[in-house]
Structures are given as C-alpha cells and as structure tokens.
Amino acid sequence: MSDLLSVEGLKVNVSDKEILHGLDLKVDPGETHVIMGPNGAGKSTMGYALMGNPNYKVTEGKILFGDKDITEENPSERAKDGIFLSFQNPIEVPGISLSNFIRNAVDAKSEKRVRLWDFRKSLEKEMKVLNMDPSYADRDLNVGFSGGEKKKAEILQMLMLKPRLAILDETDSGLDVDAVRTVSDGVQEFQQNTDGALIIITHSTRILESLHVDYTHILVDGKIVATGDASLVDEINDHGFEKYLNK
Amino acid sequence: MNCASVAPNICMNSIGDRKEVTMEEKNQVNEVDHSLYDFRYEEKESDFYKVQEGLTPEIVEKISEEKNDPQWMHDFRLKSLEIYNKMQVPNWGPSIDGLNMNDIVTYVRPKTEMSAKWSEVPDDIKETFEKLGIPQAERESLAGVGAQYDSELVYHNVKKEVADQGVVYTDLESAMHGPYADMIKEHFMHLVTPGDHKFAALHGAVWSGGSFVYVPPGVTVEIPLQSYFRLNAPGAGQFEHTLIIVDEGANLHFIEGCSAPKYNVANLHAGCVELYVGKNAKLRYSTIENWSKNMYNLNTKRATVEEGGKMEWVSGSFGSHVSYLYPMTILKGDNSSMEFTGITFAGEGQDLDTGMKVVHQGKYTSSSVNTKSISKSGGVGTFRSAVVVGTEAKGAKAVVDCSSLMLDEISRSDTIPAMDVRTDDADIGHEAKIGRISDEAIFYLMSRGISEEDARTMIVSGFADNVSKELPLEYAVEMNNLIRLEMKGNG
Amino acid sequence: MKGEEIMNTLRLNPLPTPTWNWLHCNDTNVTVPAGLSEVEVQEVFPAEAETAKVAAADIPAVETSAGPAFDKYLAETGLSAEEVKIADKVLASQAVNKKIAFNANAEAGRAVYRVGKGASLTIAHFFTARDFDLAGEEGANPKARKFVSYDTRIIADEEAEVVLVDVIDMPGDVTFVDNIGGSAAKSANVKVIQVLLNGGNVLTGTALGLDGDKATVQIDTGYVVKNQENLDINYVIRHRGKYTDTKIAANGVLRDQATKIFRDTIDFIRGCKASTGDEREDVLLMNPGIVNKSVPLILCAEEDVEGTHGASIGKISDEELFYFESRGISEEDVQELMAKSRIDAVVGRIPDEAVRTELMQKLHPEEF
C-alpha cells in the first residue's frame, strides 16, 4: 500500500551542521499530522527539506511521494507533484501581483490555462473565506502586507493550488486572535473540501483548536521522539515538552 | 583636549616616560629647513618676471635636484608636468576660479617661507585656536610659524617602537634612498597616476614631503600611526604624498589630520594618498580635515585591496573653502571589502564636494557606505559618488546610505550618486534622504530644559555619530567640539 | 533637405548637474538628421477638445526631457505642433488616443496639450514604426540608425488633472527620441505612465516644473529591455511652488546584452517650502551581458523639504527563486514571469479604463 508521503531515515545538513538526525514519517492521503517540538528542534528544517530547498542538504535517507523517490527532485517539480509549503516568513516580491503569482502557479500544474475570468472568480471566493480585502489581489506579492495578511496569502495559495500534501510551517505565529481563527477556517475548508493531507508544524496550538488531527509527533533534537493522536496536543499544552527532552 | 595631548596619551601608554630630545635630533630637524626655492633670487632681474609665470620644467628640475631625487623620480616629475600642461580643469564640481593656475609656482614654496610671523596669521584662525583650547606652542606650528615642536619628538619615539615589529614609518623623501627604494618605485603613483586629473599631474610634478609606511606580513600595529606628528616637516601638508603598504595579514590604523585648523597663506592643497591593502590585511584610514577657510583642498586618495583584504575609511571634512575629495577603493581581490563612514559639514563660504568611489573587480566583493552631510549658513555641501561593478565581479554587494541635513534656508545640499553595474550577479542598494531637523526633536529636547541652540547642536552631533563612534575617543571629542564651534557660528 | 543629409550630433537627456566624465552618464550623443518631416497620426479626440495647429515659434517654451540642445534643434526644423485644448472646468469624456506609426526616416511630430483650470484629460500615445528603409534616400549614411521623434508638451493650469500614457513598441533598428516636458500650475496634478515594451534605441523621460503651490506629479514606469536594445531615461522635476510633491517609481527588467541608463533628478529650488519628493528604482538583472546605469539626483536649496530616493539593482535572490519554485514555477519561467509582471503592474495603474483595457488586450490577446 503506498503512503502519500514516506520519509525514511532522513538526515539533513544546514551550513555543514546536521539538524535532522534520521527522521521517519508516514502520511496517508487525507490525514492531518501535527509536528510539535521546542525551538531549534528542526521543525522548519523538515519543512524546507521536504520542499527541496537547495540550502538544506540531504546526507542520508529518502523521501518518497506516492510511488516516486523525490529526494533529488527540485522544488518546482515537487510542487507540480502536489506538495505545498506555507512559509513561516513569506518574503516580499515587488514587481508581481498576488493574483498574477497564483495564476501562474495554478497554470504550472495544469495543462490548460484557466481563463482569466474563471480564475478571478475562484480567487475572490477563496479570499472571502479568508476575510481578505479583494484589493490585495492586485497588490505586489506580500509587499507591505502585515504578518497576518502574509499568512492568509499563503493559505489562499494553498486553497487555490489544492495540493495533495500541504505543509504549514508555524502558520499561526505572530497572528492575533482573529487572524488565527480566520486561518484556521481556511485550513478547515481545505480539510473538508479536498482530500489533501496536512502536516502542521507548530510549537503553540492555537490553530489546532478547531481542526481535526489524526496524528501528533514530537520532534526534539532532529528526531521524532513520540507519536500519538490528537490527545498528545492537550498533553503538551498542559505539561510542555519536558518529558521528551531527555530522550 | 587638543592635538598635542592626544599624542602623548597614546604614546605614553606604550612607551612610558618621554625621553629627552638630544641636541643632535633637534639640529637634524632644523637642517632640513632651507629654502628650496631661493634660486629665484639668483636670477637676473630681467628673468624675474618670466620665472613668476607658470610652472616651467626648469622649476621642476630644480625641485628635483634640491630633493636629491633618484633619476626615475626626476623623470617622473617632468613627465607629470607635461601631462599637467595638457589637461583641463574639470567641467563639473565647485568653481576653482579663486586659484590662480598661472601663478601656481607661488604655491610650490615650502611653508616655512610663507607665514613666518605669528602677527601675520589671520585673527579668525587665532580665535579658533583659542576656542579649541590649543596650547600656544602648538598654535604656532599649526599656523606654519616654524619653531621647534614637541610632536616631532613624539614622532621619533613612535617610530622607534613600531620599528621593533619591523614596521617602517618614515618620511617618503628619504625612504627613496633606503632599503625600500625599490618598493617605493614600484608603488609610487601607480594607484593615482598623473593622468587621472590635472591636480594629480601637478602633484606628480611638485610633490613634497609625506609619509611612507610599510607593515610586514602578519603584524598588527597596536597604536594608530598619526600623520600630524609630521606637521612641521618642510612642505608638509600642501603637496604631501602618503604611501602606505600593509602586507599580507597585517593590520594598521592610520590617522591623518587633526581638528585644529591648519593655516597657510598659499591656499592650495593638492595632496595624494595611496594605500595598498594586501591579502587578508586590514587598513583603517581616518581623517579629520579642517583646513582653513581660504584653502582649496583638491586631494586624491585611493586604495587597492587584495584577496580577503579589508579597507575602512573614516572621514570628517570640516574645513577649506573648496573641497574635491572622493576617496576611491578598488576591490581587486576576491572577497575583498570596503567600509566608508563619512561626514561633511559645509558652513559659511564653503563649497565642499565630497563623497567616494568604489570599483568592484574581484568576485564576492562587498562595499558599504554611510555618509552624512550638513549644510549651514550658506554653505554648499555636495555628496558625489560612483559605484562601479565590473563584468567579472560576480556576487558583488554594495550598499550606500547617505543622509543630508539642511540647517537653514540659505544653504545648499546636493546628492549626485551614480551606479554602473555590468553583471547580473550583483546586489546593489542605494538610499538617500534629505531634510531638516525635525520640529518634534527640537521640541522634545527643549521640553527637557535644553535651549534651542543646544538642542540643535545635540541633534547635529547625534547626526554625526556614524563617524564619531568610529574614531578614537580623543578624536571623537575633538570632532564634537568642532561641530559645536560650527553651530555657534563666528559670533 | 534630403539630398545632402548633414548629420549633426547633439547631447541629449542631460543631467542638470554633471558628474565625472569617465562614467559617461552626463548625457547621450545622438546623431540627428538635418530636417524633420511631419509624421501622420491616427487620432481620436474627446468631443470637448479644441484642436488647432501651432507654428514652431508659438510652441510653449518649457524644459523637456531631451534637454536644451534638442529643444533648439526642434525649433530650427520649423515643425509645427498640434494643439489640444480643454476649456476650464471641462472633464474630457474620453482620452485623446493617438496611434503614431512612423513610416519613414526623419519623421517627427509635436503636440501641445493645454488643460484648463479644474479640467481633466487623459492622453494616450502609442508609438510604433513600420519597417522602412534608409537605403532609398540619397546621400544617407547607410550606417546611421533610423531616427524618429515626438515632442509632447503639457501645460496644466490650476487644479487640472492630466494623465499621459506613453506606450513605446518600436523596432530594433530605430532611434526614437520621445521628448516630454511641461508645467503644472497651482494644485494641478500630472501623472505620467510609461510602458516601454520594445525599442532599439529609445531616449525618453519627462521634465516638469511644479510651478504652482501644491502642484504634484507621479511618474510610473515599467520596462523590459532585451537583446541589444538601449533605453535612456531622463526625469527632471523642478519644485518651485510650496507644498509640491513628486513620486517617481520605475520598475524594469534588463536581459541579454541590453543597456539602460536611468537619470532622475528632484530639484528643490529655494522657496519651495513644505515640498516632498520620492524617487524609487527597481531593476531586475537577468543575464550577465547587461549594462545598467542609475543616477538618482536630489538637488536642494530649501530647508523645509523632505526628499528620498532609493535604488535596488540586482538579480532574483535565492529566496525569491525558491518561493517561485515551491509554487511550481521553474527557474526559466521566473524570468519571463517577472518581466511580464512588471509591465502588467504599471498598466494596471492606468486610471482610464478604455486605455487600460486596450493596452491589456494588446499585451495579452489570449485573455480576451
């Protein structure tokens, strides 16, 4: 039975320092996995490595997506295969509008180019779900966006691209209460209306409050040290990570 | 605090008690002091006026002869004169009409022949000395009134201490005859060539005095070497040539100038500074320049940096009537870098055109520029820059940040930057802003009991802190004193 | 006339204050033909426009982007101008829409737009050229690049609103001098939107005097320079009135072996109290063979002002590239995408819907 994502013994170096010391993870289609851990555990590193950032070098292990070994594949290929990464700190790219960027990303995945009118309608609908002012569509990508708007723009992209696997890197960090709720609504929409799987990387749990969670993993010092179900989230909330730090 | 006390403080810490000057050393200094240019009195009366006009090969020959130049230098001077005669003055920048180019020979005389009497030194210069609290003996020296001066002594002592590390710190003229003669020949005016511009050519023909510094590989010179020690040497200042070579892995901080105004009746300064920074070496060149307000300061400073080397410029320009000053850095080696921190204060009657130039040639080079400019009382301040990135300079990174402050509505401040980039693999950023002191800032300070005048001074000093924090403490204090003086005006 | 072309070399697009000559950025040498003949223009005017022909001597003397030498040259050719006038308080119902397709060498046109007090007008100039020969002309130097030009002068009266949309789509073997100048009176606003799509050797820009208090100008430019093309831009804004404001934003892409020089000057003249100016340039460099020159000047003789300028020059950063790739857009496609986007962004800011739509249709026919 092929899993959607299978990570086997993954070791990853950043600037000649090993951050992930042999990571194992299996995700089935449609599942929602939560990765939690203290700062510096390697959570974002895992996200970047799965997406194929060239600065994150795999020294050992494999990443299998569906039937394919994508360990050596470049990021745009992985995106076309159906992997999506929502960045923790999305960069500003002047010179291209949010709408145009998404349109091109959508086109990259399909053979036929969506008609402008259809695309705009679809974009408007998803922006409404996320409570985003429609004027953001024509603004330069992330330029001058508040932290909250940047995160919403990431989730907007996820909703428009409909990936098979979406990795959300600290999506709720730096957001106020309302923004967290809105982003959470967006993720729920994704869970309910697509059969995409989710890997939610977080070290706080606000975003998870109204989401369905299948598995929770604790990542400490570059390795997964515990796996449980949704109740593990509550345990962390009550007792923190201390129990897992000396493993 | 003043110039004189700066040196002893720094030197005392490392040397201990000052040694007594021997009679021999005293005489040595005086002996060099003979009028180079007296030859004109030997001419027949009918020839007198001919000699007075323009700079002739004969005059340059005589200079060369009296300085006992090696043959190559003699030929070099004459070649420079040829170039000088062919070149035009620049068609951009402040007017230099006040300089009588035809009468340039008058500028070529040594200082000692000029303002020979204290009584002839202008009052405003004397007043500035008073306000800056400079001791009498030092004042006379600064005003070019000859006389024995302590700094000569300090210079000799510093020279001895660093000599133990193998560092050569000596006057350039005599070094041309010593063991470093070949090194000097290889480097002299190869970085700033006479063909660069008219005043470089002039310099090449009539240069006189200046320092030669060589730091051997791996040596870190703990104390900053200071050029002002040699203020009293003949010809010092005007056509001075500074040549510094920092060899591989070595480290040097050189300080030029001082805050007290240097006065000279002959009002042209066409100096030249050439800096060679070796592989993985570091050189910091700091300048506080406060030439008297009648001077035309047409100075040329250039550095070339080898692989992994680092060049740091710290520059405070306060004086002169007209300035053309753009220290230039050539980032020749891979991974070489440059940092430039500067401030220019243009007050009444001043037209200061300053800035910098950097050329990225090697790979992965970086440059960072932070300059501030202040214009007051009708002064004109211009920031002029050039950032050039060559086709081979992959991975070049350059960032320029310049701010200008206008203190009143009769002054002028212009920013004229240029960027020329010839490779796509470069990251160039430039930011500039101009404005005045914010009313909120003044109000805030005044609400804490500070007078408006003092508030303005504090803000301007704060504005200049990019430079003052890079200077040794004594110099920073002096610089702030200068600012305070400028802010109070001549009243 | 055409029998003996005495070509003349002029210094165009000059910097108001020169700098080091070795940088070769003070001005640009252009060889111009001895005489110019009037180009035929396909034009549509709003009903409210009053049109007239104006003799060379009566064309308003304003500072223009190509500079005084070119101004003098134009006057000497004796070419007359077409003047469009909008009366006070009239808001033009549609844009002046001119299609200027050069048909032969040494063709040129001149236009004067006078927009009255409280009136408003949008002007759209679309510049193209047919493939014409030089060879047929006697005495012509076969090596000389073809030369065409257009001169636009805008006189915005008090509280007038003027928008100039300037679209350049010229062939690769033509020198085109797009000379623009004007004056803005009290509380007038002038907007210039330049879309530079193609052009062998294009000299353009805008010189504007913010002569009345509260006069304002916005210049928004998007360009893609590729192959062996050369683009030469000169913006000069003179702040004379109080409370005047300038905003200049130029975004472009340089590819292949293209060359470009961008000069922009904000001049705060003594007396222009409480004025502000901001100029920004963002250039994306795509290939190693490019040459990019940027000369952003601020000249200031007035204390009570705020001036800022910024330039950002470089290639797509690794971070940006990864972001695009993580959305499935490959490295090769990013170049195309960024180039198109910069143009689209500027076009999107054209206020007049009809003009904007027309241009969008031209650029992206597949969408309509």
Looking at chain C, which residue has its C-alpha nearest residue A85? C326
Residue in chain C closest to A162 (alpha carbons) equals: C327
Question: What pLDDT score was predicted for residue C87?
Answer: 97
Percent of chain B with pLDDT over 70: 74
What are the residue ranges spanned by the domains of chain B? 3-13+123-488
CB contact under 8 A, A100 and C344: yes
List of E strands, B177-229: 211-215, 225-226
Computed from CA positions of residues B207, B208, B213, B214, in that sequence, does the dihedral angle turn out positive or negative?
A: positive
Q: How far apart are alpha carbons A161 and A159 in whole angstroms?
A: 6
Tell me if C318 and A109 make a contact (CB, 8 A cut-off): no
Does residue B18 have a pLDDT over 70? no
Contacts of C19 in chain B (CB under 8 A): 92, 384, 386, 416, 418
Q: Do C329 and A76 touch (CB under 8 A)?
A: yes
Contacts of A161 in chain C (CB under 8 A): 327-328
Q: With contacts defined as CB-CB under 8 Å, which chain B residues touch C315?
A: 424-427
Written as six digits, the tokens of A57 are 């070098």
CB pairs under 8 A between B and C: 140
- Min CA distance, C347 vs chain A (Å)? 12
- State the nearest Cα–Cα gap between A243 and chain C, in angstroms: 36
Residue of B nearest to C312 (CA): B429
Q: How many interchain CB pairs under 8 A, A with C?
A: 82
Name chain A contacts of C337, Cβ cutoff 8 Å: 96, 100, 104
Q: Looking at chain C, which residue has its C-alpha nearest residue A95?
A: C342
Chain B residues lying within 8 Å of C312, measured CB to CB = 428-430
Contacts of C292 in chain B (CB under 8 A): 419-422
Query: In sequence order, what are the residues at sequence separation of 6 or more whose Cβ sits closer than 8 angstroms to the Cβ of residue C67?
Result: C11, C12, C13, C14, C27, C234
Task: For residue C23, give the nearest of B386, B406, B407 by CB distance.
Answer: B386
pLDDT of residue B350: 94
Contact list in C for residue B91 (CB cut-off 8 A) is 18, 21
- Beta-carbon separation of C20 and B414 below 8 A: no
Please tell me if residue C266 touches chain B, with a CB cutoff of 8 Å. Answer: no
Look at residue C133 in the predicted model and tell me its pLDDT. Answer: 76
Residue A69 has pLDDT above 50, yes or no: yes
Q: Where are the domains of chain A?
A: 5-245
Contacts with B404 from chain C: Cβ below 8 Å: 298, 300
pTM (2 d.p.): 0.83
Dihedral-angle region of residue A41 (phi above 0 means left; psi in -120 to 50 means alpha; beta otherwise): alpha
Which pLDDT value is given to residue C6? 58
Q: Which residues contact B222 (CB under 8 A, 6 or more apart)?
A: B14
Cross-chain Cβ contact B432/C310 below 8 Å: yes
**Shortest distance, CA A227 to any CA of chain C (angstroms):** 28
Contacts from B477-480 at CB under 8 Å and sequence distance 24+? Answer: B477/B1, B478/B1, B478/B2, B478/B3, B478/B6, B478/B132, B478/B258, B478/B259, B478/B288, B479/B259, B479/B288, B479/B316
Question: What is the average pLDDT score of chain B?
Answer: 79
User: What pLDDT, on the 0 to 100 scale, is given for residue B162?
Assistant: 84
- Chain A: closest CA distance from residue C283 (Å): 10
A113: left (phi over 0), alpha (psi -120 to 50) or beta: beta
Mean pLDDT score, A17-27: 93
Query: Chain A residue closest to C344 (CA)?
Result: A96
Cβ contacts (< 8 Å) between C280 and chain A: which residues?
A: none
Phi, psi of C283 (to 5 degrees): -120, 130
- Residue C135 is classified by DSSP as T
Residue C264 C-alpha, separation from nearest chain B C-alpha, in angstroms: 10
- CB–CB contact A105 C318 (8 Å): no
Task: Tell me if B483 sits within 8 A of B467, measured CB to CB.
Answer: no
**Inter-chain touch B418–C310, beta carbons under 8 Å:** no
Contact list in C for residue A53 (CB cut-off 8 A) is 322
C311 touches chain A (CB under 8 A): no
The answer to whether C217 and C187 are in contact (CB under 8 A) is: no
Over the stretch B347-405, which tens digit does the pLDDT of each residue have?
999 999 999 999 999 999 999 999 999 999 999 999 999 999 999 999 999 999 999 99
Given a cut of 90, is residue A200 above it in pLDDT? yes
In this prediction, residue A173 carries a pLDDT of: 82
Average pLDDT over residues B109-128: 58
In a domain, C3, yes or no: no
Best mean pLDDT range from A77-91, A221-235, B125-139, C227-241? C227-241
Q: Which residue of A has its CA nearest to C317?
A: A93
| CB–CB contact C322 A113 (8 Å) | no
User: What residues make up the domain containing C56?
Assistant: 8-367
The CATH homologous superfamily for domain A5-245 is P-loop containing nucleotide triphosphate hydrolases (3.40.50.300)
Q: How far is C203 from chain B (nearest CA, A)?
A: 18
Antiparallel, parallel or unpaired: β C41-44 and C96-102: antiparallel
Other CB atoms within 10 A of residue B348 CB: 14
Contact residues on chain A for C320, CB-CB shorter than 8 A: 91, 93
Which of C308, C311, C313 is opposite residue B433, by nearest beta carbon? C308
Write the pLDDT tens digit of every residue in B409-456.
899 999 999 999 999 999 999 999 999 988 888 888 888 888 888 888
Q: C 241-260 residues with CB below 8 A of B? A: 254
Q: For residue C294, list chain B residues with Cβ-Cβ distance below 8 A.
A: 418-419, 421, 430
**A94 interaction partners in chain C (CB closer than 8 Å):** 251, 282
The residue of chain A with its CA nearest to that of C339 is: A95
Q: What proportion of chain A, given as a percentage, has pLDDT over 90?
A: 52
Amino acid at A172: D
From chain C, pick out residues whose CB is under 8 angstroms from the CB of B432. 296, 298, 307-310
Which C positions 282-301 lie with beta carbon below 8 A of chain B? 285-288, 290-301
Neighbours of C37 (CB within 10 A): 16
Is B173 in contact with B207 (CB distance < 8 Å)? no
> To probe the interface with C, which of A76, A77, A99 has the most C CB atoms within 10 Å?
A76
Q: What's the whole-number average pLDDT of chain A?
A: 89
Verify A-C touch: 3 or more CB pairs within 8 A. yes
**Residues 6 or more apart in contact with residue A135 via CB below 8 angstroms:** none
Chain B: give the shortest CA distance to residue C224, in Å. Answer: 15
The pLDDT, as a whole number, for residue C139 is 55
> How distant is the Cα of C199 from the closest Cα of chain A, in angstroms?
21
A95: its two tokens: 């010179």
Instruction: Tell me the pLDDT of chain C (368 aa) as tens digits.
Output: 444 455 689 999 999 999 999 999 999 999 999 899 999 999 999 999 999 999 999 999 999 999 999 999 999 999 999 999 999 999 999 999 999 999 999 999 999 999 999 999 999 999 999 988 775 555 555 556 799 999 999 999 999 999 999 999 999 999 999 999 999 999 999 999 999 999 999 999 999 999 999 999 999 999 999 999 999 999 999 999 999 999 999 999 999 999 999 999 999 999 999 999 999 999 999 999 999 999 999 999 999 999 999 999 998 888 889 999 999 998 888 888 888 888 988 998 899 999 999 999 998 887 76
Instruction: Tell me whether chains B and C touch (3+ CB pairs under 8 A).
Output: yes
pLDDT at B96 over 90: no
In chain A the beta strands, taken as DSSP E runs, fall at 5-14, 17-27, 32-36, 56-65, 68-69, 83-86, 93-97, 140-141, 165-169, 197-202, 215-220, 223-228
- pLDDT of C142 reads 53
In order of A25, A84, A119, B256, the CA distances from A80 in angstroms are: 22, 9, 19, 62
**Rounded Cα distance, B391 and C230, in Å:** 18
Is C308 an interface residue toward B (CB < 8 Å)? yes
Minimal CA separation from B457 to chain C, in Å: 17
Interchain contact, C326 vs A55, CB within 8 Å: no
Q: What is the mean pLDDT of the segment spanning B473-480?
A: 82
Residue with tokens 């170049």: C335
Could you report the per-residue pLDDT of B22-49, keeping only the tens digit for each?
Answer: 333 333 322 222 222 222 222 233 333 3
Distance between C335 CA and the closest CA of chain B, angstroms: 13
C9 touches chain B (CB under 8 A): no
Instruction: State the total domains in chain C.
Output: 1
If DSSP codes are grouped into helix, strand and coil, which group holds residue C355?
helix
pLDDT of residue B149: 43
Contacts of A15 in chain C (CB under 8 A): none
What pLDDT is recorded for position B52? 38
Predicted pLDDT at A234: 85
